[in-house]
């Protein structure tokens, strides 16, 4: 297949993907900010069932500044309200996206990793392309490269379920209904530690994602996530 001519517009993202992307972006922003506000109430992480001031913490967290937390002033009750509401937005949004992606075959069409794509030579080529700011296949710019597929798979099927399920385990109401939920994680403090580590993974993915969007051409990339259509650039990211 010949490379697509610069300036041509191609369809990249279906409506379900675009809607979920923006709902998820807002939910993650609020969850990260409110989660840091909650962390400031007791910035220490433990393993096991118990965690208090005189117990051994495996990680002493910093006190996060007001400009990073929601709300900007310390208020544990309000941080929890924001966190719990947008946790529901995140969880049900992910469920709706999963169902839609199974129906429209987004997973099998765009995220399925073929055996050849996991070869060392192919992965090394993908790394070189990213290093040289070549993020799109000029013959098929709508196709996800292997590093994109692997990162999205980790987020969708590992990190998001991890933070949602560990968050559910931390809910007192859920503990009362299903006491075994905390036992699965090895105790409340273990669930809290896993929840925080999952948040770090999602925050790291978000930062890398934003950097790559800027490097690949922010206007073009954001437009494609708003309208579904992406314009083949004259030079740069898709060469």
Q: What is the pLDDT of residues 129-139, one digit of tens each?
A: 888 888 777 66
pLDDT tens readout for residues 29-60 = 999 999 999 999 999 999 987 777 667 899 99
Tokens of 209: 């994602």
Q: Give whole-number Cα distances, 213 to 40, 83, 110, 195, in Å.
A: 31, 27, 18, 27
pLDDT at position 237 is 43
Where on the phi/psi map is residue 47: left (φ > 0), alpha (ψ -120 to 50), or beta?
beta
Question: Which among 33, 25, 44, 23 is positioned nearest to 78, based on CA atoms?
Answer: 33
The whole-angstrom distance between residue 197's C-alpha and the CA centroid of its chain comes to 13
Structural domains of the chain in order of their starting residue, each with its CATH number: 9-45+78-231 (1.20.950.20)
Average pLDDT over residues 101-129: 88
Q: Give whole-number Cα distances, 219 to 185, 187, 215, 216, 224, in Å.
A: 43, 46, 11, 9, 9
The continuous run of DSSP H or E covering 231 comes out as strand 229-231
The alpha carbons of the chain give a radius of gyration, in whole angstroms, of 20
Confidence of residue 234 (pLDDT cuts 50, 70, 90): low
Q: Taking a C-beta distance cutoff of 8 angstroms, is the pair 219, 204 a contact? A: no
Report which DSSP code applies to 114.
P
């Amino acid at each position: 297949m010949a490379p697509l001519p610069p300036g041509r517009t191609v369809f990249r993202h279906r409506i379900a993907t675009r809607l979920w992307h923006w709902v998820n972006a807002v939910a993650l922003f609020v969850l990260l900010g409110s989660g840091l506000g909650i962390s400031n109430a007791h910035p220490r992480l433990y393993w096991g069932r118990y965690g208090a001031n005189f117990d051994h913490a495996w990680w002493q967290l910093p006190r996060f500044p007001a400009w990073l937390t929601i709300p900007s002033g310390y208020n544990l009750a309000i941080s929890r309200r924001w966190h719990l509401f947008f946790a529901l937005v995140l969880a049900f949004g992910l469920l709706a996206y999963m169902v839609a992606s199974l129906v429209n075959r987004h997973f099998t069409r765009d995220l399925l990793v073929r055996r050849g794509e996991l070869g060392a030579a192919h992965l090394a080529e993908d790394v070189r392309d990213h290093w040289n700011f070549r993020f799109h296949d000029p013959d098929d710019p709508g196709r996800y490269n292997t590093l994109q597929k692997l990162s999205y798979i980790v987020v969708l099927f590992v990190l998001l379920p991890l933070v949602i399920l560990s968050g559910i385990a931390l809910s007192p109401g859920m503990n009362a209904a299903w006491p075994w939920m905390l036992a699965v994680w090895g105790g409340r403090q273990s669930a809290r530690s896993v929840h925080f580590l999952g948040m770090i993974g999602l925050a790291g993915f978000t930062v890398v994602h934003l950097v790559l969007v800027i490097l690949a051409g922010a206007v073009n990339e954001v437009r494609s996530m708003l309208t579904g259509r992406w314009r083949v650039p004259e030079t740069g990211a898709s060469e």
